[in-house]
Amino acid sequence: MPRLLARGLILLVLLLPHAPRAGTLDRAAMERLFPAPLVVGEKEASPPVWPIFRTAMTSPELVAYAFESADLAPIPGFSGVPPNLLVALGPDGSYLDVRVLSHHEPVFLEGLGEEPLHRFVAQYAGLGLRQSVKVGSATTGASRGGSAAATIDGVAKATASVRIINESVLAAALAVARAKLGFAAGRDPGLRVTPREDAFEPLPWPELLRRGLVRRVAPSNAEVERGFAGTSVAGMDAAALAAPEAAFAEIHIAYLNTPVTGRNLLGEAGWRALQRDLEGGHHAILLLSSGRWDALGEDFVRGAVPDRVALIQDGLPIGLRDIGLERIALPPGAPEGRATILRIGAQAGLDPSQPWALELKVTRERGQIFPERVSQVLAAAYEPQPGLFLREAPDAAGGWRALAAERAAELGLLAAALALLLVALARQRWLTASPRGFALFRAGFLLFTLGVIGWQAQAQLSVVTLAGLVRAAAGTGDLSFLLYDPASLLLWGVTLATLVAWGRGTFCGWLCPFGALQELARQAAAPLRLRQVRVPPRWDARLRRVKYLALALVLGSALLPAPWAEAAAELEPFKTAITLGFDRSWPFVLYAGGLVVANLVLHKAFCRWLCPLGAALVLGGRLRVPDWLARREACGSPCQLCRVRCDYGAIRRDGGIDYDACFQCMDCVVIHNDRRQCVPLVLADRRAARGRGA
């Protein structure tokens, strides 16, 4: 049956016509969304946008371009279907409105509900493409961040989904901005520019200046005074009036990521330390300030965001933050002054291979009780030298790299735990040498799986991902949605790799949060001494087939209209129990909770008989190379201890292992290696003892 199922699914995918990816709104719908006094113009073909006008006297005034994200940036969500958002973009690149037209994100459908999603997209109003918009934690609060950056609230338990929404809004808006608004405030988010590691030669400070790798800006007192001419604060600087040709300030700036600049300025030790701070694609700029005016300000605190300095590229302000280094050792010849290193986040969109500028804000005050402040800006342009950078074409992985960098600590913890598990499973005898030690290790790792992998990292693998793959194969062919959840992607990689080594058991027995929840619940209920129900082998074999029907139902429904697919995916209780932590309407909680309770007397009934993901892993487990569970000649004849103790029914009467049913719980390995439990070993020891006594 599994082989017939696989062939049928492949045939169905091949025969299904590709799904269209066009928007859905017609003129009548647009006029309802933008009623009078607004006027909806004719839809343009390239790009597909609706101009929105307001009548001003006798001539219409363009107030926005409205478009659907699915027309311009069909980034698949976790169901494999791109979310579709209506975006109204003003002529200045600001978001006037963003609304959800349609989506198929499982976490918002009969889960959290759609209200959190609508609140999320409402935050875009008032922001724009000239800002770096970042999705933050749902608990830290949103921040408009001035003109350069903004952080909008994420949605707890839907981190990956809202990041896909954000990428859809940004990518679609940038396409319209480049085509219709005439400015390049935002480049393709996947563009990757990296310094060339081989472009290095030792250079002294004067040569760095001569080549433009270090830029010197030294405005005179007279230049600054001219900037305040005609204002209420003109002529207030007595020192400037006394020495107009003297330097007001001396500023040196340099981009430190390139080895020829960074290594020469900071030395080898400083360069290596900086590289550790910049992991994840961040940028660093040296700012050396000397003279009468301090570019950072007297009240500047290490590690803070400077308010006198802004970085501008293509009209886009980009956020800066001090790295907080107390001592920076510059090479001989550098002037005395206040040196700091400013970091630019990887998501800010800086292209270091293109010109940029530092804007230095000089402010004067007049009055004491209610002071009047007047500012002017001094520009310090920086022209990168040719041949120092590699530019890679945009790809879907660019957004993934930034996301992975944000979750580096979490991914590192997950990777370390997975490595520990793989090493332990590869050393069976060492792992099971002490039955009590093994029991403690297994209980501890199951707690990690439930608490960290499941509830914290939200990395519960699901058949929904497989359904998304089917839908993508039949439609867009775009699998980039997998990259927006790096924790799950890492877990998928380990799961697929271990299918070859051990079969489906590594995930089902160790890495499935819902499976861990069931097993931990059973351990907690052990003092109740509930009677365990054993299903006869004949019925067990029949019930195992049900999960293949469940798999066929879920994957087949992925090719049907969305409501059917979403309803079929609810066969899995993972979204209710793990993703949403049972915070859901009572029918779903009753179903998921009922499965956990049933497991107390009927061990992992869902996993063994109903789980569609388990069925898919069984099919993948047919790739398993070794029979990794050791057996003895006496196993099965006459000894039946392991078979009787196996709660999964994975040991046949003849002592052989049914790896399709094995969850790698290792209980039989503990027995096999324990001279106090394994019957053949116990009998052998008794015979040896009698022989010695004779």
Dihedral sign from CA coordinates of 181, 183, 186, 189? positive
User: In this structure, is residue 8 part of a structural domain?
Assistant: no
The answer on 29 and 96 residing in a single domain is: yes
211 plus 314 within the same structural domain = yes
More confident residue, 130 or 390: 390
- 440 is written with which tokens? 């403690």
370 and 222, same structural domain? yes
Query: Does residue 23 contact residue 68 with C-beta atoms inside 8 Å?
Result: yes
In 3D space, the residue among 324, 389, 400 whose CA is nearest the CA of residue 350 turns out to be: 389
Bridging pattern class, strands 372-382 and 356-366: antiparallel
Q: Which residue has the higher pLDDT, 506 or 399?
A: 506
403 lies in which domain range?
A: 397-630
pLDDT of residue 395: 45
Q: How many domains does the chain have?
A: 3
- The verdict on 37 and 185 lying in the same domain is yes
Tokens 């719908």 belong to which residue? 29
Question: Residues near 220 by Cβ (< 8 Å), separated by ≥ 6?
Answer: 244, 245, 246, 247, 248
Cα→Cα distances 42→26, 55, 101, 286, Å: 11, 15, 20, 50
26 and 136 together in one domain: yes
Within-domain flag for 530: yes
Does residue 350 belong to any structural domain of this protein? yes
**Which of 170, 189, 208 is the C-terminal boundary of a domain?**
189
pTM over 0.75: no
Lowest mean pLDDT among 245-249, 354-358, 394-398: 394-398
Q: Does position 443 have pLDDT exceeding 90, yes or no?
A: yes
3-state helix, strand, coil in the chain (%, to 5): 45, 15, 40
Q: Characterise 295 by phi-psi region: left (phi > 0), alpha (psi -120 to 50), beta (else).
A: alpha
Neighbours of 449 (CB within 10 A): 25
**Where among 140, 165, 189 does a domain terminate?**
189
**Would you state the pLDDT for residue 609?**
93
> Per the domain annotation, does 645 fall within a domain?
no
pLDDT of residue 58: 54
Q: Is residue 619 part of a domain?
A: yes
pLDDT at residue 70 greater than cutoff 70: yes
Q: Which residue has the tokens 């195992």?
A: 544
Kindly state whether residue 615 falls inside one of the protein's structural domains: yes
Q: Are 585 and 623 found together in one domain?
A: yes
Q: Which residues pair with 149 in a beta bridge?
A: 132
Q: Name 4's Cβ contacts closer than 8 Å, sequence gap at least 6.
A: none
Q: Which range (24-33, 413-422, 521-530, 599-608) has the least confidence?
A: 24-33
Q: Is residue 519 over pLDDT 90? A: yes
Q: Does residue 402 share a domain with residue 349?
A: no
Return the structure tokens found at 466: 């497989």
Q: CB-based contacts of 141: which residues, under 8 Å, 6+ apart? A: 153
Higher-pLDDT residue of 511 and 487 is 511
Decide which of 392, 424, 450 is a domain's last residue: 392
- Residues 546 and 588 reside in one and the same domain: yes
More confident residue, 656 or 304: 656
Claim to verify: residue 472 and residue 619 sit in the same structural domain: yes
Q: Once rounded to an integer, what is the mean pLDDT over residues 423-428?
A: 90
Residue 553 sits in the same domain as residue 422 = yes
Asked if residue 36 is part of any domain, the answer here is yes
User: Do 146 and 197 have their domain in common?
Assistant: no
> 572 and 539 in one domain?
yes
7, part of any domain: no
DSSP helix/strand/coil, 385: coil
